[in-house]
Amino acid sequence: MKGFGDMLKQAQKMKRDFDDLQERLADERYEASAGGGMVRVVVDGKQMMKELKLDPALLAEKDVTMIEDLVLTAVGEAQRTSETKMHEALKKLTGGMPLPF
């Protein structure tokens, strides 16, 4: 039974490490921009948008479709960056063992 006990302890440690990592990553901020910096977005480690900045010159264009496209592009890129960083950190934690998310 010692082998099972050791395996259980290891699994509990991995769970604690995973929870700590998720907490740390949630505090991280990832920035992306679009339109040559006219739209800037910041998301956290949970891919939740925390900040949106629009260059006033962009609003002067009054091209709503373009503004929407730039915002979507910047948000998507920031979220992808956040997700990539999370997967990289989890890969290190698990030693490359794939886990479902």
Pairing of strands 29-34, 49-54: unpaired
* Distances, alpha carbon 1 to alpha carbons 7, 14, 59, 84, in Å: 10, 20, 68, 39
| Cα-trace Rg, the chain | 19
pLDDT value of residue 91: 83
* Distances, alpha carbon 55 to alpha carbons 46, 59, 88, in Å: 26, 7, 32
Q: What percent of the chain has pLDDT above 70?
A: 92
Q: pTM of this prediction?
A: 0.75
Render pLDDT for 42-69 as a digit per residue (tens, 0 to 9). 999 888 999 999 999 999 988 999 999 9
Give domain limits for the chain: 2-94
Q: Which fold has domain 2-94?
A: Ybab; Chain: A; (3.30.1310)
Q: Give 22 or 30, the one with higher predicted confidence.
A: 30
Q: 42: alpha, beta or left, given left = phi > 0 and alpha = psi -120 to 50?
A: beta
